[in-house]
A = this chain, B = another copy of it.
Amino acid sequence: MGNFGRVPVGVVGASDYGGVQLVRLLMDHPEVELVYLGNESSIGKPFADLYPQLAHAVNQKIEAVDPEVIAQRCEAVFLCLPNGQACEIAPQLLEKGCKVLDLSADYRFSHLATYTAWYSKERKDRSTAALAVYGLPELYRDRLTEAQLVGCPGCYPTASLLALSPLLKQGLIVPETAIIDAKSGTSGSGRQAKINMLLAEADNSLAAYSVSRHHHTPEIEQICSDLAGHEVTIQFTPHLIPMVRGILATVYSTLRDPGLVRDDLITIYRAFYRNSPWVKICDPGIYPQTKWAYGSNLCYIGIEVDPRTGRAIVISVIDNLIKGQAGQAIQCLNIMMDWDETLGLPKLGFYP
């Protein structure tokens, strides 16, 4: 296959679920060529040692993470590193002209103090951080066009913000009444050996975790504040669901105007996402299930208004590893490169 003219890209930290999704999706992308796979462990080993099922498709070896080499070979690079590591190499990559899409939390915050408070990590790259664009295309498409550095959103914030944004942006709700009850499959916790993520522990069970202190909270609040035009505090509770992939966010908030009905909101949401090919608003009375989005970059949103309580209940679903992670990063790249936003991304979910 001739890749003449394709844009060379790389993935740093390709061993985890986000990384392997990127590899799989980038190999199907018609405009890029995956020329570099880096990881600080397993250097020199074939990538297929980690994922033997890809042995016939990926013959690359894992290379050391050297920003100089990466920038030389790649026009854009995806960083899938633990929090606090992307900010160690991003400045050098940018300096050498490489576009950077960071999938960690390092470049999601406009106020580094918030990052430091919630992630307990000091930072020395203030000027670089100031360049970062928050990679939620449905909200920041215009800024992404010019971006060199993208802080790709967390999985929960993606589902939560797509559900909340139209209400906040239009001033339809009382922001501090917003409660996000989020549910995620266990792949969100990555390919790390943890006892509580064993099938024997997590299957056929269900639990909340990090109640009132999950570190996706400030990320959600930052964007909500941006949309509302003032500081907003949000209630966010994540739950672990006995399934591999998918996030569902159930978002409650009190409407300012008690006369608004479901059909009004559906109209407002459809207008808001008119130019967003990856967001689908369900017909009245239809609530999405996570499986609809399974394997695709889609976000489905179902909307209800409870006239008895005056609340809007908005339900969004995504595939946490695609729209919630790898797919959204590629969507950002598409925009940065001025390609069609849907290029190379799976358009139909996988059912059943």
Contacts and interface: CB of A to CB of B under 8 A. Distances in A.
A203 B294 CA distance: 12
A24 B296 CA distance: 12
A244 B195 contact: no
A43 interface: no
Interface in A48-74: 51-57
A208 B287 contact: yes
Nearest to A287: B208
A142 interface: no
Contact of A186 (B52, B199, B245, B252): B199
B244 A289 contact: no
A35 interface: no
Given A55-B283, A203-B199, A283-B52, A208 B302 contact: yes
Contacts of A209: 287
Contacts of A306: 211-212, 235
Contacts of A194: 193, 198
B176 A239 contact: no
A183 interface: yes
Interface string A308-352: 110101010100000000000000000000000000000111111
A241 B244 contact: no
Interface in A141-188: 176, 179, 181, 183, 185-187
Contacts of A235: 252, 306, 309, 311, 313
Nearest to A178: B309
A352 B17 contact: yes
Nearest to A300: B53
Contacts of A203: 199, 203-204, 242-244
A313 to B, nearest CB: 5
25 contacts: A20-B351, A52-B283, A53-B288, A53-B351, A55-B283, A179-B179, A181-B250, A183-B183, A185-B200, A187-B200, A191-B198, A191-B200, A193-B195, A197-B198, A206-B289, A207-B287, A208-B250, A208-B313, A211-B304, A212-B305, A212-B306, A233-B309, A234-B309, A235-B313, A295-B295
Given A187-B352, A191-B352, 5 more contacts: A51-B351, A191-B200, A204-B243, A242-B243, A295-B295
Interface of A: 17, 20, 24, 27-28, 51-57, 176, 179, 181, 183, 185-187, 189, 191-195, 197-209, 211-212, 233-235, 237, 239, 241-246, 248, 250, 252, 280, 282-283, 286-295, 300, 302, 304-306, 308-309, 311, 313, 315, 317, 347-352
